[in-house]
Amino acid sequence: MRYQGLDTFRSYVDGPLGVSFQPAGRTRTDWGGTIHTVNAQVSFRPARVQSIDAGWEFESENYRNLALPVSPTPISSVDVTQRSNALFVQDQLRLLDNRLLFSAAFRAQFFSLRRPVFDPVASSPYAGLTIAAPPDAYTGDGSIAYYVRGSGTKLRGHVGNGYRAPSLYERFGTFFGSFGYSTYGDPRLRPDRSVAFDAGIDQQLAGGRVRASATWFYTRLQEVIIFDFSGAIDSRRDPFGRFGGYLNSGGGLARGLELSASAAARRDLDVALSYTHTNADQRRPLVPGILSSFVIPDHQASILVTQRFGRRLFVNFDLALSSSYLAPIFDPITFASRAYEFGGIAKADVVASYRIPLSDRRAVRIYGKVENVLDRAYYESGFRTPRATGLAGLQIEF
C-alpha cells in the first residue's frame, strides 16, 4: 500500500500602479489545494504464462480560493472537496515461448462531491445551482506484440480510450483583478474523452548494436476542456456572466508517424536519431479560419550523441529541430485571440560529466551544461526563450 500527499498555495497581489489594466486599489487572490492519494495493489500468477495485477485507489482533492478585493467589494471565498474511488485490473499473457504477448487492462473510477462552500453566498455566481459530481469513468486498454526471433523483428499494436475529469479549478475557478470579480470556471463541464490507436515495428540489426523503430499513431479527442477568450463565450448568454473561461470543445484529431534509430557506433560512442510527423487539427477552430492545432509543429527531429572518454568522462550533444508552428496571441484591444506563425527551433545542448571515485561507495562527479549552445533566438508558445546559458555543479555520491 502506498500514500502520497501534495499541498500547494499561490498568492497573487496587484495594485493601482503600472500601465494598462490596473485595479483601483490593492487586491489579493489566494489559491490553495491539497491532494491525498492511497493506492493498494496485488500481483499474482495463476499460470506460468499469465500475470495479473489488480488494485484500488482512493483520492481526495480540495480546492480553496480566497479573494481580497478593493473595498467596499466584500471578501469572497470558495471551498470544494471531491473524492474518488477507482478499481483497476491488468492481465498479461505470454504465448508461443514468449514470442506472442497479449495485455488487457480495465479501470473504473467513481466520483463524489461534497457540497461546495461559497462565502458570501449572495455574491457567488454558483449559488443556487444543483452541482453534481463528474460521471463515472470506464477506460480500457489492449495491446498485442509478436516477436520474430530469427530476424529480430517485433510487430506491435495498441488501442485504448482516455478520460479526464474536470479539475476543481476548471469548475469553480475565480479571480479578482483589474476587471473586478471574474469567473473562469463552469460547474457543468463534461470530462475530456479520447480514443487512441497505434501500430508499429521494431527491428534489430548488426547483432543488436543497431535498433530501428517505426510507429503510426491515431488519436481522436472526442471532447476536451479548453480555456477560451476568442469570443466563444457570450457574457450575455452565459449563466455566470463570463466573457472568457473554461468550456467544452469538440476536440480534434492527431495522426502521424514516428521514426527512430539508435546505434552503438563504437564501444565508446552511442548515437540516437528520431523524427515525428504530426497532422493535428481541431474540430472547432479556436481562432476563426484556423483548424490546425496550436503549438504542434508538423515536423520534429532530434539527434543525441553520447561520447565516453575512458571510464570517467562523458560528453552528450543533444540537438532538437522543428518546423514552424502556430500559436494564439491575445489581442488586448479586441479581447480576442489571433493566430501567429512562429519559426521552428534549432536548439543544441552540450553536457559534460567527470566522475572521480574516492572509494567503493563514494565518488565526486563534476558536471557542466551549456543550453542553446548555438545561441539561437527562438520562441515557445509565443514567449522568447533565453539565448546560450550555462551551469556547473558538483555531486557527491555516498
Q: Do 39 and 173 belong to one domain?
A: yes
pLDDT tier at 168, thresholds 50, 70, 90:
very high
* CATH code of residue 153: 2.40.170.20
The residue out of 208, 229, 250 marking a domain boundary is 250
Q: What pLDDT shows up at residue 336?
A: 67
Q: What pLDDT shows up at residue 178?
A: 53
Q: Do 83 and 217 belong to one domain?
A: yes
Q: What pLDDT shows up at residue 221?
A: 93
Q: What pLDDT shows up at residue 317?
A: 97
Q: Do 244 and 261 belong to one domain?
A: no
Listed range (94-108, 134-148, 177-191, 338-352) with the worst mean pLDDT: 177-191
Q: Do 12 and 136 belong to one domain?
A: yes
Contact predicate 351/318, CB 8 Å: yes
- Total structural domains in the chain? 2
Q: Give yes or no for residue 94 having a pLDDT over 90.
A: yes
What whole-number distance in Å separates Cα of residue 177 and Cα of residue 29?
8
**What tens digit of pLDDT does each residue of 333-374 get?**
666 677 888 989 999 999 999 999 998 889 999 999 999 999
Span 181-190, mean pLDDT? 85
Q: What pLDDT shows up at residue 177?
A: 54
Q: Do 242 and 262 belong to one domain?
A: no
pLDDT, mean over the chain:
90
Q: What pLDDT shows up at residue 163?
A: 96
Q: Give yes or no for residue 122 having a pLDDT over 70.
A: no
In sequence order, what are the beta bridge partners of 196? 160, 219
Q: Do 363 and 227 belong to one domain?
A: no
Q: What pLDDT shows up at residue 165?
A: 95
**What tens digit of pLDDT does each residue of 127-142 get?**
778 889 999 999 999 9
Q: What pLDDT shows up at residue 288?
A: 73
pLDDT tier at 85, thresholds 50, 70, 90:
very high
Per-residue DSSP letter, 133: P
Contact predicate 386/348, CB 8 Å: no
pTM exceeds 0.85: no
Q: What pLDDT shows up at residue 373?
A: 95
The residue out of 217, 235, 250 marking a domain boundary is 250
Contact predicate 34/62, CB 8 Å: yes
- State the residue range of the domain holding 57: 1-250
**What tens digit of pLDDT does each residue of 270-315 get?**
999 999 999 999 887 767 778 888 889 999 999 999 999 998 999 9
Give the residue from 124, 133, 121, 134 showing the smallest Cα distance to 183: 124
Amino acid found at 277: H
**What tens digit of pLDDT does each residue of 34-59 get?**
999 999 999 999 999 999 999 999 99
Q: What pLDDT shows up at residue 239?
A: 86
Q: Do 8 and 83 belong to one domain?
A: yes
Q: Do 344 and 364 belong to one domain?
A: yes
Span 5-24, mean pLDDT? 84
Q: Do 341 and 376 belong to one domain?
A: yes
**What tens digit of pLDDT does each residue of 22-37 get?**
777 888 889 999 999 9
Q: What pLDDT shows up at residue 335?
A: 64
Q: What pLDDT shows up at residue 128?
A: 77
C-alpha dist (Å) from residue 134 to 108, 114, 137, 171, 354: 13, 12, 8, 10, 52
Q: Give yes or no for residue 194 having a pLDDT over 90.
A: yes
Q: Do 140 and 237 belong to one domain?
A: yes
The better pLDDT of the pair 78, 333 is held by: 78
The residue out of 202, 231, 250 marking a domain boundary is 250
Q: Do 49 and 196 belong to one domain?
A: yes
What whole-number distance in Å separates Cα of residue 176 and Cα of residue 331?
20
Q: What pLDDT shows up at residue 332?
A: 66
Q: Do 195 and 307 belong to one domain?
A: no
Span 167-171, mean pLDDT? 93
- The DSSP code sequence of 14-26 is E-S-SSSS--SS-
Task: List phi, psi (to 5°) of 189.
Answer: -55, 140
Q: Grid coordinates representing 137?
A: 469513468
**What tens digit of pLDDT does each residue of 245-261 get?**
899 988 899 999 999 99
C-alpha dist (Å) from residue 245 to 186, 193, 240, 348: 8, 20, 10, 37
